[in-house]
Structure 1
């Protein structure tokens, strides 16, 4: 095989290092473009010119961004190896890139062992070649399998192409059939047009015939009227003739009757002859006939005038009926306003009655407390006077007894009642200290207290100079405590001075006093030992572990609150307050004196060296339970005694008037389907009345009911997920909506309208108090740096429910039509109706403009000049009519600051309904595309408003007249509804 090689270039084995690398560098660009490092590196690793580190650096270095740079870096690493690196590179090219090897060296590749440089043994080379061939065979097999798969895929694609061709042929046939049907349809349309023209001609002819018929009927009516008049005249003449005939018969006697009859016959015959022969008589009759005809024409003219007057009266009647209808609508509206005003005044009166009752109760409690305090003070004064007399007696006994005792004991006796510097000779009877009220005792200042009384016990409280009470005193004290067990007082003995315990320290005194409920045995003598020389015996001891409780005063108690919910249970809610219901006997809460009927106002505790505070004064039962469950270790409870309110709540719960003390209204920001366990089916923007946030039979749910749109009446009741569970539903609904939106966008489809209104995204920052979440505040500890700023409490969150409050507008609400472009077109039409008026702009001076702008009374600037102000809206509302607002969405929040709640109506738009308004838009200088863009831009902003709005479906109206009629109906419906306004969450 060596003889077959054509030696065109020098043998690399005979070249030195410089020549080899000069040869490689001359072809460096060609090698960098044609060689893949991952193919040569296994061989270069086999001949030990590259290491594992070099391989990792070549293939994984981030600075080598393409294959040419990696190959060039490999050549640089081989250059370090010198001649062996060049020989190994050329041998690798000879094995894997024979064509490139020939282009570089000018020699044909050979696989004979003698042609290799000796860097690798023959056996190792054979093994390497076998592995390389095996790898190539595997690659060939994979390529063949891939080709098989591609051929199968190609066949499937060919079959699909055949099916598509068949479908195309069918579609072509259908297209031909469609074109034929189109031509046939156009032919039929032309025939229909012809028939319509013929029908129109026939209708015109029919109209002409009907007009002629009406003329003939009018003429016939006139002739019938004339004939009726003539018949009437004939009957009257005949009647007169009969009357005269009867009169003449009565006047003449019977014998003269034949003569008269004969004369009448003669006269008649003469009259007939005269009529036949006298032409003058005929002329007179003809003239009378002409006069009669003229009189009939005058009567016909008068009849026509009467008909015109009748038609005018009918038109006036129709106008009066329309005016009556509008007045009846105004009467209904005024009656509704009157009912709303009566309801509001009733609510205010009830609140005033409740306030008066609470005031009277507070006055009565104050008077009772003052009377009780006065009685106790008077009794104390009496007892103090008795105590003074007893002390004088004791002093006299001590003086007599001290005369027979040694001088040292006498000095000790005197030292116990006076200053240590005094002596027996100077003052045998020291002056008594005047009785006075003690100051409040501070448990936190025990050092000062102990310094005043060195041997004073930890659980004792006493006056400075008091002697042990008599057994009668103990008996009276026990009777007083048993008789007045409902009044909690810090006074334990009538002989005690007044003690006032501060709220923060009463629990410490209470816990200390509870250890010594029985007074120890007392001794009136002193021994010689140091223990006998202590202060007076301890006898002023609290009889029960309860501090002073005053109504409406907040008291703070500190105790060990581990597993706090196992020590006490709570009831109530945000409407009534959260009360302590039951206290476990023997627990720490029971020891410090917590009793049922106390309202929990605030809870403080420490967690991870941080002091946390949660306000529970207006929290729900669910929030209060969660807050109390977080307490671990020492806690501080702030309580307010409200026994009467607690008993009233218990009575309402017993008679099933209420299910808890919770009551608030929410606006649902998503749609929820009905469940099998009584779950309410609600839609986005529904209003619910939550009456229990912690039902006994369900978990993570609220008990709520739907609200009547026009009255505060609960309708269908059921359960809904609580705030945090609903938040998870909302996040899941948003994720599903985004997934469907991506699929629709990928497929080129529009998002369904039902999906767009399935959720209402409302995000808020947790700043301030909100009823729908627990407010946890971090207090600054002593060890914290005072200069460091407090951590931010802002936390962005999605709100499934929004807290709303009801409002009852007493007058007609303004009307705002959206989109803005369509509203400008419909505002003037709507303002032309009775009961509506367009808001007009005001022209203000610079000073007035600045003043009103500072008071936020300018709603919007007018394009033609001037400003739409709050006063212009109120001016129209004072007339008792609706003010049509030619403004944008920004005016809604400005109006709500002044308790004005407009009716917001959004008319949905589509490409089909915009064509119905083409002429109106062109007249206003707008296009259909601008209207659609304005609708898409303003519709998402409606969900950010703090109030509800009304949306009209694009297919609910066919023309402008029906649209205006629908708007008038909607305005009448919205005026009757309650206005629900969200609290601003920011």
Structure 2
């Protein structure tokens, strides 16, 4: 009864750690030991391990604990020894003691041969597990190398993608600069067109003003000529009146003519008186009749002479009037002829000036058209040369990119070849004995240190494949042989030579791309289309 109480106390204490035990214990590991201790029958083992209803490991561990709890104190001791053997940390946590590994239960039950058998089985399991781990390590190594190859390919693709992106960026920048230049040229052309239109309007306004001034000058000239003609006409009329006044008879001549007239009148009166006296004395004598006849004839003749003189003077006066009228008409016609001649000369000069101006405008227009054609020809020639230079620059850039791509492909091929050599070295057969296993384990532990160092170096150098393979080959150079060293030296020299050539070409290209008017320093590391990691591997 006391033993049963102790068994219950032990299992009750163990129940406090049931959740931890179920979550940690693997029934397949401790069942062989429990079977050797004869606390677990084959049927119970078959039920725990192969029951279809027990799929989860935790349920299997719970059923195993229930089965062992039915065996009592013996099952408790066997279970604790299995924990001491397989789960020492859990045993220390449950009991608070260090595992002693006495195995008293199995020695009492099956003897030392049973313990040896259990230990041998465990050693065989461990060896199979070690072999499995080695196989997995080799598979992981192969997988790691395949991932390294993939990483190299991705690096090359990334380099190509960066090259294409940089080229697209350069083309975009060129497009933006050309669009800015085009907008600038359009603005300049628009401003020039505005200034040309403004100057044309100013020139047209100046020409119109000049034409108006010329018309005013011509009108003033015409008015001046009319005034001169009127002045001449008035001067001639004044001279004519003055001449007429000068030719008019003087007062003495008029007085003499009046005296003559009075004498003639007096004589006429006397004659009439005499006639009257003769008529009175006609009857007296015949001689008086003859005298009267003579007198009458004389008077008649005198009258005829006076009438003739009067008519002649009248005709003379009329002729003088006609002469003066015709002289005035002649003068007027001469003045009109002179004014018309001057007008014709003025219009002739004006027409000649207009024709001369038209000829000058035509010559200026021809000169402007010729200059414009020359400018157009020069501009088209400059455009053709610029397009040719741009095409040449684009072809050189494409050729440079193609050479860079070829360089990257050659480097990737070189890296792939080096990776294949490394893989062939790592896939050499290994011995299977325990001593060889321990030595190979030691060698793997020793080789992991430089491998980790190499991984750190790769991380520090941005995972560059060239440095990774170079470090791997340096670590295994003792096993590779003299042929491999010679091959690597030649490859390294070739890579350095290509790197130097590309670096010189990149600097020349950067110097060509720098504008002349810019005074800031050029960053030689960033002027080319790629970073230093693309060509130098660092």
Q: TM-score, normalised by structure 1?
A: 0.19
- If asked which structure has higher relative contact order (CA below 8 Å, sep 6+), I would say 2
Greater strand share, structure number: 1
Q: TM-score, normalised by structure 2?
A: 0.31
Q: Highest CA radius of gyration, 1 or 2?
A: 2
Greater helix share, structure number: 2
